[in-house]
Chains A and B, each alone.
Chain A
Amino acid sequence: MSETPLIGDVGTAAGAALSGTPLSGARIGVVTFPGTLDDRDAARAVKLAGGTPVALWHADSELGDVDAVVLPGGFSYGDYLRAGAIARFAPLMSKITKAASGAASSNPLPVLGICNGFQILTEAHLLPGSMIKNDHLKFICRDQALRVENNRTAWTNQFEEGQEITVVLKNQDGQYVADEKTLDELEGEGRVAFRYVGWNPNGSRRGIAGITNAAGNVLGLMPHPEHAVEPGFGPLGADGHYSTDGLGFFASVLSQLVDAK
């Protein structure tokens, strides 16, 4: 990942101190598809949290030496066909799907799908359900409060259960849908990871903002934690200060990777 100056005074070490995570040097891959928008932001978030971002290209045939992967937001293939439907068949995705489903190991690859990345994860059947257009049909961009419903995943272990965080929500196809049986299973197994707080911004079933797989290594969510990682530049949090709540996602995976080593 090419070097870009970080905004403000928050260097790698300060970012790590901010998130309370030891510098693990863990390598977090960030995948770029044609039409991806937030890969640079995701890479900065990884760096601010104390990890080493590794740029991955969708057409790569090998995953390489990475400890976790982020599928960032954007409009891969212009959302043609369905959001995430074409990106899902990228050569690198078959490697990620295999590593994340853990068929080959007891240590499945942690994967975070944000917005379009979440849509790609559902199209790839790593997570159940799907996203359809917002019920009000408008693109939405706002600061959004979320409740942490499951803090036992690779990407949420630095949060408290029930904690409310604020990150940016920005999408057009954000309405999470699944059949009632699947929804009941998700609820029963504690796999609803995040729920919208205050209102339902897109008509998502049961106010679901993010879900995890059974093993807890794969997390998908519509809002964007990578846009809430730098003081002064994130959304306004509930306490009136600019939120850096998004760092918790990246600090969580670094913490888990350190523990695993």
Chain B
Amino acid sequence: MPRIVVDVMPKPEILDPQGKAIVGALPRLGFTAFSGVRQGKRFELTVEGPVTDEILEQAREAAATMLSNPVIEDVVNVEVLDEAAAAASEDVAAPAEAE
């Protein structure tokens, strides 16, 4: 079934305390190449049937009104997940399942 992906990130001017904690911890594991981390959210909206323009518009509206808070967050991406890629990622997620 097709899915719509919505990516939400904290606004650039908003301090991201979680990202700050992660970037502080990375060097302890030897990951010294990263000077900053910002942590966002990814939502996957499953659709029964084909994704029409109207459904995609509903996803955009949901992203703006509920999935994000415009005071502290930006919706940075709304897109239909490529179905072949989605199937591949499901195979990775459940490698032991024989079809």
Contacts and interface: CB of A to CB of B under 8 A. Distances in A.
Interface of A: 81-82, 85, 89, 122-123, 128-130, 132-137, 175, 177-179, 203
B66 A81 contact: yes
A178 B18 contact: no
Interface of A is mostly: loop
Contacts of B10: 132
Given A81-B66, A133-B18, A135-B15, 16 more contacts: A82-B69, A122-B71, A123-B69, A129-B71, A130-B69, A132-B10, A132-B15, A133-B17, A135-B17, A137-B18, A137-B21, A177-B15, A177-B72, A179-B13, A179-B71, A203-B15
B67 interface: yes
Contacts of A179: 13, 71
B89 to A, nearest CB: 23
Nearest to A125: B71
A177 B14 contact: yes
Nearest to A203: B15
Nearest to A89: B66
B78 to A, nearest CB: 17
Interface residues on chain B, size class: 10 to 19
Contacts of B66: 81, 85, 89
Listed from nearest, the 3 A-B pairs whose CB atoms lie closest are: A130-B71, A133-B17, A130-B72
Contacts of A82: 69
A81 B10 CA distance: 13
Contacts of B14: 132, 177
Nearest to A182: B71
A121 to B, nearest CB: 13
A177 B71 CA distance: 9
Instruction: Name which of A81, A123, A135 has the most chain B CB atoms within 10 A of its CB.
Output: A81
Contacts of B67: 81
Interface string B52-91: 0000000000000011010110000000000000000000
A107 B62 CA distance: 33
A239 B21 CA distance: 38
B22 to A, nearest CB: 10
A132 B72 contact: yes
Nearest to B14: A177
A179 B69 CA distance: 13
Contacts of B21: 137
Contacts of A128: 71
Instruction: Name which of A85, A132, A137, A178 has the most chain B CB atoms within 10 A of its CB.
Output: A132
23 contacts: A81-B66, A81-B67, A82-B69, A128-B71, A129-B71, A130-B69, A132-B10, A132-B14, A132-B15, A132-B17, A132-B72, A133-B17, A133-B18, A134-B17, A135-B15, A136-B17, A137-B17, A137-B18, A175-B17, A177-B14, A177-B72, A179-B13, A203-B17
A129 B11 CA distance: 13
A89 B62 CA distance: 12
Contacts of A134: 17
A137 B67 CA distance: 23
Contacts of B18: 133, 137
B25 to A, nearest CB: 11
Nearest to B18: A133
A111 to B, nearest CB: 19
